[in-house]
């Protein structure tokens, strides 16, 4: 049993909550920090993620910090200056925490970043790798890259080990945003115009992501590395929808609309980014992560989709 103290930020979030459950089940000494106390006051209240935050009481006595808290990417942005807002939380807030952690003697800092640091799309047969030159497009991806670079500087100055994990879209029980919307459409039998799409996209199941993060907490080879993660099975949009349908017990109704028409329709309706994600490719080569850490995703795609669908049917289906 490993009793080295681990602090998880964003503990009440989608990834953080699952990570807490995973670490506790495996006997780790773990403290969750969140802006909300969670059920029955389970989590310690953490300061706002900015350059003035005081993390001293939370990082004291901690050996490893897993930083999962962030201002997340949203499809409908309301901030007048999104990049400034993302930088305030994801860059300045992250680096404030990292510097306080280093000053308190924290051994390792695991940062949950995003594949958006690599970019938004991949060409056929050219998956993203950790060695690729970063090419973020949107404010969220830019802020994550700036945070990564700042953390690497903190590591160089302090000796605190930094591990960076870049996941793609994460799905699992309780998933929200666009993945939940897709499940709603399939469950309701809505005809979906994606039958002719021939893209490939990498995803990562929540169980697989938290298993990898757990491995990153104390694996010697993880120190100083940028690690890409995925399920290892890339799916086209129609294949994903069919498999979601099987998990929900409802056949996906797919119409063979050409991608060019979908792109025109998405632009006209102000949904260009959503259509691009559903029609474009984003593949990840996580073979280096697997080889370096001796890691194999513990959960297959269909099992993960089954768990996601069961939660949806119990809690979200309307």
List, in order, residues 6 or more apart from 114 with CB less than 8 Å away: 73, 140, 141, 144, 166, 167
Spell out the residues 6+ positions from residue 311 whose beta carbon is closer than 8 angstroms to its own. Answer: 173, 174
Predicted local distance difference test score (pLDDT) of residue 253: 96
The angle formed by the CA atoms of residues 65, 140 and 243, to the nearest 5 degrees, is 90
pLDDT band at 273 (very low <50, low <70, confident <90, very high): confident
255-268 pLDDT, tens digit each: 999 888 888 877 77
Mind listing the domains of the chain with CATH numbers?
6-175+203-232+285-299 (3.40.50.720)
* pLDDT at site 259: 84
- The single residue listed with the structure tokens 């404010």 is 139
Task: Tell me the CA distances in angstroms from 294 to 57, 216, 225, one per residue in order.
Answer: 35, 11, 14
Give pLDDT, residue 7.
Answer: 96
43 catalytically annotated: no
- The more confidently predicted of residues 140 and 79 is 140
How many Cα atoms occupy the beta-carbon half-sphere of 314 within 13 Å? 8
Measured CA to CA in angstroms, residue 229 lies from 35, 170, 204, 241, 309 at distances of: 27, 10, 7, 22, 22
The pLDDT score that the predictor gives to residue 2 is: 47
Asked whether residue 293 carries a pLDDT value surpassing 70, the answer given is: yes
Q: What percent of the chain has pLDDT over 70?
A: 93
Range in 11-20, 244-253, 262-271, 292-301 the model is least confident about = 262-271
Q: Which residues contact 287 (CB under 8 A, 6 or more apart)?
A: none
In the numeric block, which tokens belong to residue 115? 């594949």
On average, the pLDDT of the chain sits at: 91
pLDDT band at 41 (very low <50, low <70, confident <90, very high): low
Tokens of 32: 């969750």
Whether 3 shows a pLDDT value over 70: the answer reads no
Per-residue pLDDT for 135 more than 60? yes
Q: Which residue has the tokens 């996941």?
A: 167
Token pair, residue 64, equals 């490893």
- For the segment 203-231, the average pLDDT, to the nearest whole number, is 98
Select which of 14, 86, 128, 140 is catalytic: 140
Angle at the Cα of 200 (from 191 to 90), degrees rounded to 5? Answer: 100
Token code pair at residue 262: 């979908």
Residue 27 vs residues 129, 145, 154, 253: alpha-carbon distances, Å: 33, 33, 30, 45
* 1, pLDDT greater than 50: no
How far is 290 from 185, CA to CA, in rounded Å? 34
Q: Find all residues with CB under 8 Å of 187, minimum gap 6, and list them.
A: 248, 250, 312, 313, 317
Looking at residue 99, its pLDDT comes to 97
Tokens representing 250 are 């409802």
pLDDT at position 148, please? 98
Distance (Å, rounded) from C-alpha 249 to C-alpha 243? 10
pLDDT band at 47 (very low <50, low <70, confident <90, very high): confident
Q: What are the tens digits of pLDDT across the range 75-120?
A: 555 677 889 999 999 999 999 999 999 999 999 999 999 999 999 9
Question: What secondary structure does DSSP assign to 71-115, as a single string?
Answer: ----SS---SSHHHHHIIIIIIIHHHHHHHHHHTT--EEEEE--G
Predicted confidence (pLDDT) at residue 40 exceeds the cutoff of 60: no
Length of the chain: 318
């Amino acid at each position: 049993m490993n009793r080295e103290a681990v602090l998880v930020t964003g503990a009440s979030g989608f990834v953080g909550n699952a990570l807490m459950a995973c670490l506790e089940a495996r006997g780790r000494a773990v403290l969750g920090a969140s802006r909300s106390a969670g059920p029955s006051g389970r989590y310690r209240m953490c300061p706002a993620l900015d350059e003035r935050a005081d993390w001293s009481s939370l990082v004291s006595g901690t050996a490893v910090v897993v930083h999962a808290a962030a201002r997340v990417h949203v499809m409908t942005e309301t901030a007048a200056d999104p990049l400034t807002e993302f930088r305030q939380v994801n860059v300045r807030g992250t680096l404030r925490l990292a510097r306080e952690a280093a000053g308190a003697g924290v051994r390792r800092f695991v940062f949950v970043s995003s594949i958006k640091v690599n970019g938004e799309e991949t060409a056929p047969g050219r998956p993203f790798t950790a060695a690729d030159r970063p090419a973020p497009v949107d404010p969220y991806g830019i802020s994550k890259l700036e945070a990564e670079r700042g953390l690497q500087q903190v590591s160089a100055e302090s000796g605190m080990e930094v591990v960076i994990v870049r996941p793609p879209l994460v799905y699992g029980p309780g998933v929200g945003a666009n993945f939940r919307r897709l499940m709603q459409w399939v469950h309701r039998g809505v005809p979906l115009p994606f039958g002719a799409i021939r893209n490939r996209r990498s995803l990562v199941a929540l169980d697989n992501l938290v298993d990898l993060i757990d491995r990153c907490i104390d694996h010697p080879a993880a120190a100083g590395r940028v690690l890409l993660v995925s399920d290892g099975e890339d799916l086209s949009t129609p294949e994903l929808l069919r498999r979601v349908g099987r998990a929900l017990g409802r056949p996906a109704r797919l119409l063979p609309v050409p991608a060019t028409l979908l792109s025109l329709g998405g632009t006209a309706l102000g949904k260009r980014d959503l259509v691009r994600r559903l029609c474009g490719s984003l593949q990840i080569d996580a073979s280096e992560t697997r080889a370096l850490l001796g890691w194999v995703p513990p959960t297959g795609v269909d099992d993960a989709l089954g768990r996601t669908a069961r939660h949806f049917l119990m809690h979200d289906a309307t």
